[in-house]
């Protein structure tokens, strides 16, 4: 896990100035934005929506910075905010059909793998039951350890290991078929 000295200093003092909060937020944003972007893209499947999700996540994190208690939980805290923002997107019914012709949409960046293999893999992962998909995505896309996933999902580390094993087996079966 990345070392966040500012987060530790933030939590060790009892009074926090605005400049402390600014420095803490900047440290979190610099440290985790790329991870948040990857995870948001995985959730949304669209670069623009992913960017919006990350911006909303960082805005909520800024407003709720006083809730961050444990420096080791910063990444999980941000990912939780991101997952909730993604859920809010569906609640607000922002997924409206567009009248824009598909031909006029901007081409995707070459940064994202749009190969057939990536499409097939993504589809196979999307078809996994949620109990297997979530820990797999958290580990592969989010970079979480088995222990961190267990804490987030509220299950044992062994339970996470079992789910990851089963997820990989189901993926192998789906990709071979």
Residue-level pLDDT at 161: 93
Overall average pLDDT of the 153-170 stretch: 92
Global pTM reads 0.57
**Cβ distance 57 to 85 under 8 Å?**
yes
Q: Kindly state the tokens that stand for 159.
A: 């339970």
Q: How confident is the model at residue 109 (pLDDT cuts 50, 70, 90)?
A: very low
Per DSSP, helices labelled H in the chain are: 5-12, 18-44, 47-63, 74-91, 116-126, 130-140, 146-153, 157-176
Residue 39's CB is within 10 A of a number of other CB atoms, namely 26
Overall average pLDDT of the 16-40 stretch: 85
Is the pLDDT assigned to residue 110 strictly greater than 90? no
Residue-level pLDDT at 12: 47
What domains are there in the chain, each with its CATH number? 1-95 (1.10.1740.10), 113-177 (1.10.10.10)
Reported residue count of the chain is 177
Residue 12's CB is within 10 A of a number of other CB atoms, namely 8
Rounded CA-CA distance 114/139 in Å is 21
Q: Which residue has the tokens 């992913």?
A: 50
CA dihedral defined by 90, 43, 150, 7, rounded to 10 degrees?
-90
Is the pLDDT assigned to residue 158 strictly greater than 90? yes
Percent of the chain topping pLDDT 90:
25
- In tens, the pLDDT along 45-96 reads 889 999 999 999 999 998 988 888 876 788 888 998 998 888 888 766 544 4
Q: Kindly state the tokens that stand for 82.
A: 């991101």
Residue-level pLDDT at 71: 67
Give the distance, in angstroms, between the CA of residue 68 and the centroid of all CA atoms in the same chain: 17
């Amino acid at each position: 896990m990345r070392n966040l000295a500012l987060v530790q200093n933030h939590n060790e003092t009892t009074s926090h100035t605005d400049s402390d909060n600014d420095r803490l937020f900047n440290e979190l944003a610099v440290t985790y934005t790329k991870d948040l972007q990857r995870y948001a893209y995985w959730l949304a499947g669209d670069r623009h929506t992913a960017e919006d999700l990350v911006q909303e996540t960082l805005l909520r994190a800024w407003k709720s910075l006083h809730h961050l208690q444990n420096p080791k939980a910063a990444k999980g805290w941000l990912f939780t905010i991101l997952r909730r923002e993604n859920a809010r997107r569906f609640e607000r019914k922002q997924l409206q059909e567009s009248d824009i012709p598909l031909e006029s949409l901007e081409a995707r960046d070459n940064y994202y793998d749009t190969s057939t293999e990536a499409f097939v893999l993504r589809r196979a992962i999307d078809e996994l039951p949620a109990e297997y998909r979530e820990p797999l995505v958290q580990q592969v896309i989010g970079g979480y350890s088995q222990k961190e996933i267990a804490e987030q999902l509220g299950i044992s580390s062994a339970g996470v290991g079992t789910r990851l094993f089963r997820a990989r087996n189901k993926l192998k079966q789906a990709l071979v078929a």
